[in-house]
Amino acid sequence: MMFEANNHFALLGLPVQFEIDTDTLQSNYRKIQSEVHPDKFVTASPAERLQSMQSATLANEAFQTLKHPTSRARYLLQLQGIETLEDSNTAMPADFLMMQMEWREAMEDAQLAKDITALEHLLSTMKNEAKAMQTVLADVIVNDPNTAAQIVRKLSFIDKVSADVQHIISRLED
């Protein structure tokens, strides 16, 4: 069975909204993958094998996009015709810029001190800040896409710094 869907939400049987049930997302994704996985089409015609590969790839892309709050929000905005312009629009409010600088300094200090506990505390702080932003995002994503786009840019930054911190922790643990 091959799948056609207007968007990732429809493909994975979810309502088009920021807050989703991640268990349903995972369950629906697994169901689709089990139906279209290329291994099930080894003896099929080349066209059917290609269709299976394309469907599996589409389901994978949809799952990866919807699984993460930042990419899910970015995708919801794209469905509304709004681009978040994270690469080109780096303007941020002064308070957020100050917070960024404090996080970067804390990360560098903890890295130099090889202080994994401080890095884990920093990760926790950033995670809490991201959760607070996601709560606001859920409220504004439909009615105030410009504010939502700014929040997505902030979340994108937090995701990047969090990944940097996790990378440092991994290196220090080795």
d(CA 134, CA 47): 42
Give pLDDT tens digits for 136-166: 999 999 899 999 999 999 999 999 999 999 9
Q: What one-letter code names the amino acid at 155? A: L
Q: Which of 30, 48, 67 is the last residue of a domain?
A: 67
User: Is 79 part of any domain?
Assistant: no
Mean pLDDT of 48-70: 91
- Residue 62 and residue 20 in one domain: yes
Instruction: Please give the tally of structural domains in the chain.
Output: 2
Interval 97-142: pLDDT, tens: 999 999 999 999 999 999 999 999 999 999 999 999 999 999 999 8
**Distances 2 to 9, 33, 53, 119, 155 between C-alpha atoms, Å:** 16, 10, 10, 45, 34
- pLDDT over threshold 50, residue 34: yes
The confidence band for 55, taking pLDDT boundaries of 50, 70 and 90, is confident
Structural tokens at position 89: 């629009």
Domain that holds residue 25: 8-67
Q: Can you give the pTM of this predicted structure?
A: 0.86
Residue 87 resides in a domain: no
Residue 151: give its domain's CATH number: 1.20.1280.20
Specify if 62 maps to a domain: yes
The span from the first CA to the last CA of the chain, in angstroms, equals 45
Mean pLDDT across 33-53: 84
Residues 31 and 95: their CA atoms lie apart, in Å, by 44
One domain for residues 122 and 159? yes
Q: How far apart are CA 7 and CA 72, in angstroms?
A: 12
- Looking at residue 52, which CATH number applies to its domain? 1.10.287.110
The answer to whether position 98 is within a domain reads yes
Q: How many angstroms separate the CA atoms of 10 and 4, rounded? A: 9
CA distance 92 to 85: 13
Q: How far apart are CA 26 and CA 31, in angstroms?
A: 9
Q: In the structure, what pLDDT confidence band is assigned to residue 45 with cuts at 50, 70 and 90?
A: confident
Domain shared by 112 and 54, yes or no: no
Do 60 and 99 have their domain in common? no
d(CA 116, CA 173): 8
List pLDDT tens digits, range 11-28. Answer: 999 999 999 999 999 999
CB 158 within 8 A of CB 109: no
